[in-house]
Each structure stands twice: as structure tokens, then as C-alpha cells.
Chains A and B, each alone.
Chain A
Amino acid sequence: MLTLEDTWVDMGDFTLAADLSVPEGRRVAVLGPSGAGKSTLLAMIAGFQPLTRGRVMWRGAPMTDDPAARPISMVFQDNNLFPHLTVTQNVGLGLRPDLRLTREDRNRVEAALARVGLTGKGARKPAQLSGGQIARVALARVLLRDRPILLLDEPFDALGPALRAEMLDLVGELARETKATLLMVSHNPEDARVMSDDVILVVDGRAYAPVPTAQIFDNPPDALRDYLGR
């Protein structure tokens, strides 16, 4: 269980409160108007956003301050890869942050790349990859990090519709294989409908507790209806 226990951040002109739990293994979409705080919610869970109040718990224990030590992998909207490192190095950071990779580490990197469909691309630099391939590299690293929580912050919003559907499928498969708890911010309600079990609605300075996807789309609350425009 991932729990945000009475959490609150106050950044002066912006506040966000969340008091909610996500059961292990669920796939959750985070929806809401831009500027409402969807990314902030993920940053709070990942440890990038210091909390004014409250705490984030995993399996009943509070998380550490160090983002790297949390049981979390995160994929950002962009800048997921270091442009000066090769694909192998970028993925290898998921095993060893100092990049002193052993032969066995390299084999594991190669296997992860094969799993996301990038066999033989290890020596390339990000500039030589397409947008879809870059996203795949980031997912290969997620595989190696093997953390129980996966946070995705609009990672595929810059991709075309067909490519995005493909990547969402891949994420779904990976999450199933690793039994990861998934939280994904998206601008596209359709994505949420296709792949999430639950929806967290973020609106008016508050992140609401997850509601089953089918339920919330069949009978949307006012805030979601305003956002969806229907």
C-alpha cells in the first residue's frame, strides 16, 4: 500500500493537499486540469518536492528523504536520458549510479534493451534515437531498477497517437511482469480509460482518493466533467 498521510505542500501561490492510499499492484491514472498539481503529486511521492506537512508511506513505513533510496522508478516528460551517455550507460545507471559496470551488469543491460525492442542499439547516443526509442530506453532502465512503484509524468505526450498507444501497451506489459504499482499523469482521458484501474483526480488544490475508472467515467463528478468538457 502506498499512502499519502495527510500530506500538504505550500509554495505560496500554490498549495496541494493529498490524503489517500493506493493498493499495491494497481494501475492509477492521475487526471486534472493543467496547473492543478498532477506533477507536484508525483514529485511529492518521489521525494523531489519537500512536504510542508504529512508523510509518504510504503508498506506501512515512512519513505526516506533520498529520492534514489525510495522504492520508486520515475519517467519524466522529457530529459529522461543524459545526452552525453550512450544507451547502455543510460540504462546501466539503473544498476550502478557510478557506472562501474561488470560484465554481468552489461549482460543484464543488453537483456533489458532486448525486452523493450532495442537489441543492438546500446552504443548509440540519445541524439541518434527517435522519440519512441528514447522512451523505450527509459523503460529499459525502469526494468533494471526493479522498484515496486513506477511513476510516469506524461512520458509519451510528445509522441504521435499510434506510437503512444504502443508505448502504453509496453508499459502495461512491464507493469504486469514486475507487479509494479503504477501512477501515470496524462493529459489524455482516453489513456486513463484504456489502461488504468483507478483514477486520482487532482483539482482545486486537492488530490482526491482513487476511484475505479469505470465508475468515475460513467458518473463523473463536477470537477471531472468540467475538465472533460461534457
Chain B
Amino acid sequence: MAQSGRISRPAWLSHWPGLVAALLLVVLVFGTLLAVALRAEGGRGLGPADWAAIRFTLWQAVLSAGVSVVLAIPVARALARRSFTGRTALVTLLGAPFILPIIVVVLGLIAVFGNKGIISITLSVFGFEPISIYGYHGVILAHVFFNLPLATRLILQGWLSIPAERFRLAASLGMGPTDIARLLERPMLREVIPGAFLVIFLICLTSFAVALTLGGGPRATTVELAIYEAFKFDFNLGRAALLALIQFAMGAGGALIAFRIAMPGDMGTGLDRAVQRWDDSPIQRVMDVVFITLASLFLLLPLMMVVLNGVPGLLSLPPSVFQAAIRSLVVALGSAFLTLTLAMSIAALVVQRGAWLVEGLGYLTIAASPLVVGTGLFLILFPFVKPSDLALPVTALVNAAMSLPFALRALVPALTSVERDYGALADGLGLHGLTRVRLLWLPRMRQPIGFALGLAAALSMGDLGVIAMFADSQGVTLPLQLYRLMGAYRMEDAAAAAVLLLGLSLLLFWIFDRGGRVNADT
């Protein structure tokens, strides 16, 4: 068996599904970019409002990434060196914000940090002024909510990658906490932090829903929000296209930097153990408890407030909300299965032709912004059809494209190992084409397929982006309906709709992910 790793087998599947899928993504990104470029109006160049949007986009992304990473270090350190009941649950919770609908989180944050939120109420008891969440600090707060957990997981991964023997060696040499920090922990942080910072910076660069709900105005408008406003308020397609070009340039710049810095991958496994150490002290213990408690409260309180505020109104929700929910479910399911089809086709191509393709598509979606793609599609479709007629399919398509890198990250390693273990057997028995997909791939890859479907469905369910540009007053999705309820100050209905949206998103993820796990013959 010594040479089996080197055996390269003849192609047993046609390449075209993978090529078509990859091409679709490339056309979606660059075709829409071309449409945008052709339509962009330089005119008098960039106005002061445009420059303000660019400055704010970059500035808030830097600040959000910085605050997330700095706060994540003590939380990750505490998680790395403490075992306690609920640690596994907390680490799992740290992965959850990724699939939470942004608008639901925003509502939760308003309930905690808003001027009628629990902090403001507490302050007023002591005679202080209530605080406000609207503005740049609200945008950054929401970004930290979403990215502090991600940063914590990435840094925790770094901590746990330090071999346990090093800590034992440090203990046997009599090193104190400062020595360990200098010799073991800071070198690790220097490796991990640039990548973590960059990942979050790039995520915040394409922030639309947060800016839409908490930002706005001259001091808190991102470029993506400016694109949307150019569309919705001025219907100035030339200016929207110009802003979309700027957004793409920023994303492409970020992707170029990402190309040079090793980007960390959140493996999501192996985080469920703590490292044993011998340099404990009461002060450290207290600090760790404080940081873990604060981080848990910061993550859980807003979500608990959403549920508490929303559940009473669930039964009295207007029918329009349920109609929107059904529309969202259809979009989410369509988008999830489109993601799976594209990802499986590309994965099949990748296991035969090498992983560069995955990397390439990954960078492509870093550079692309859903709103820029949406702008391009709008410009292309506008002369021929009423864009609102295609709002739902376009949303499903763009969501699928944006979920694709995550699906590939789950499916490609799985398919690689299936082919490594059973490829020769399947070849020898003549399992070709769809027979191979049906009898080998689908059953052997149930777990990653379930995860990918769940992720794609949840992301699409909660998405508030392209739909906001395309939809008219009819045919809205649940997140957009929720946003409109907030805009109309119908906060009770909004809170109840948020519970519905939160529940459906988590349910979609759970059903698919669970479906991939039960009765899996591993």
C-alpha cells in the first residue's frame, strides 16, 4: 500500500458540470462588474459624501476588527486554560453568530444598548442620561457582536495549537506567567492575529444590513449603504454604479492583501478541550471568570431580549409577516440546493484538477460584494424586465454564490477522502457518473452535505442585502419585512417577527445539519 497515495486515476466524471458552475460564478462577479463599469458616471467625480462613505467604510472596518481581536485575546486565553461545565456549549455558541440573521441581532442589541434598552434603564435609575445605539458606535458594536466570537475561535485555535509538552517543559523549568507569555503565547499571537484581523476587516468592509439599520447619515454611511441610497432614494443608477466600482476596488484590494497573508480557517473542531497549565494564580482565575462571564452576557443577552420581547406577539402577527416567512423559506431552500449543486460540481472538478480552483473562487467572493453583484444584475435586467419580478430568484442566486466558499470548505476535504478511500473500488466496479454520485458520494458525504445545506439555508434565510434593492412593496422576504416594521416603529410586531426569523433560521440549520448526522454509517 506504500504507493497508493501516489496513484492517479483516470478521469471518471466529465468536467463540464464543475466548469459550468465555476464559470457561472466568474460571470456573476465579473459580468455584473462590467455592467457596473459601463454604466458608472464619473461626472464631477466623487463628492464629499462619497469620500465620507469611503472613509467611514475603511475606518469602521479597521476599528471593528481591532476591537474584536483585542477583546478576543483575554476571552480566548480564558477558554484555553479553563475547563468548566458549559465550556463546550460556549465554544459552540461562539460559532452561532455566523448563521444569525443580522437584523435579528440588531434588534437584540437595540433592546440592550438602545435608549430604551436595559442599560439605559439601569443608568436612568441612577440619574444618568440614556445612551443611544444609532450612529457609528452602534455599527461597530454590532460588528463586534458578530466578529468577537469569530476572533475568539481563531485565537483559541492558536492557543490550543501550542503543544501541551511546551507548557510541561515551561512548568519543569519553573517559568512564571510572564515568561510563558513571552516565550510561548506572544509568538503564537503574532502569527494568528494578522490573519484574524484581516478576515474581520474584510467581513466588515461589505457591511450593509448593520449600516442600514444602525448607521446612516453623513457620519455612519458605508459605501454599500450609499449604493443602496443612490438606488432607492435618488434612483441615480450612474452614481450607484460608480460607488459599486469603488466597493469592488476596496474588496479586490483586501483580497490582494489576503493573498499575501496566511488566512486562518475556522476548523470548528478540536476546540473542546483546555490545556493543562501550572502557572495558575488567583488573579488569573478571577480575570478569566470575569472575561468569560462578560463575553457570554454580551452574546446571550441580546438574543434573550429578542426572544423575551418577541414571543408574546407571535400569535398576533399580521398575515403579511407569515407570507414573507414562506417566501423566505422558499428562497432559502432554493438557494441552499443551488449552493449544493454548484459546490458538488466544483468539488468534483477540484479532486481531479487540484485545489487552486477553490482558493481562486474563495478570493473572488472576498472581492465581490453582494450589493455590487446586485447593482450589476439590476442594470442588466432593468431594460428588459421589472427587477421586482425577479427579486426572489436573484436573491437566491446571489446568496448561493456567497455561500459557495463555505460549502466548498466543507465538501472538498470530504470528497477528497471519499475518493481516496473508495475511489479505486468504485472505479473497479464501474461506478461512473450519476451512479457514483448516488451510491458513493451522497451517502458517504451526508454530514458535510447536511452542514453545507444548513449553512447556506440559514445564511439565505437571514439575508438582508440584494432583496432590499430589488423588492417593491410586494414580494418581500422576512428580513426585509422586519426592517420595514422597524422603520414604521411597529416594534412589537418587529420583535415577534424577529423571533420567527431567528427560529426559522436556526431550525433550517438544525434540520439539515441533523439530517446529515443521524444514521450515518461511518
Interface residues in chain A, defined as those with a beta carbon under 8 Å from any beta carbon in chain B: 11, 14, 34-35, 37, 39-40, 43, 46-50, 65-69, 72-74, 76-77, 79-80, 82-85, 93-94, 97-99, 125-127, 153-154
Contacts and interface: CB of A to CB of B under 8 A. Distances in A.
A35 B2 CA distance: 5
| Interface residue range, chain B | 20 to 34
A48 B424 contact: yes
Contacts of B9: 48, 67
A43 B521 contact: no
A39 B440 contact: no
8 contacts: A14-B3, A14-B6, A39-B2, A40-B7, A67-B9, A67-B428, A79-B425, A125-B521
Given A47-B10, A97-B430, 19 more contacts: A11-B6, A14-B3, A43-B7, A46-B424, A48-B9, A48-B427, A48-B428, A49-B7, A65-B10, A66-B10, A66-B430, A68-B430, A79-B425, A82-B440, A93-B429, A97-B431, A98-B435, A99-B439, A154-B1
A46 to B, nearest CB: 6
Query: Which of B428, B443, B520 has the most chain A CB atoms inside 10 A of its CB?
Result: B428
Nearest to B6: A11
B4 interface: yes
Contact of B427 (A67, A82, A153): A67
Nearest to A145: B429
B269 interface: no
Contact of A68 (B427, B439, B444): B427
B522 interface: yes
Nearest to B430: A68
Contacts of A37: 3
A127 B425 contact: no
Contacts of A83: 444, 521-522
Interface string B9-20: 110000000000
Contacts of B6: 11, 14
B421 interface: yes
Given A48-B424, A76-B424, A98-B435, A68 B521 contact: no
Contacts of A11: 3, 6
B172 interface: no
Nearest to A80: B425
Interface pairs A-B: 7 shortest CB-CB: A68-B430, A84-B443, A97-B430, A35-B2, A84-B521, A40-B3, A67-B427
Interface in B394-428: 421-422, 424-425, 427-428
A72 B439 CA distance: 21
Nearest to A97: B430
A39 B443 contact: no
Contacts of B428: 46, 48, 67-68, 72-74
B449 to A, nearest CB: 13
A69 B430 contact: yes
Contacts of A48: 7, 9, 424, 427-428
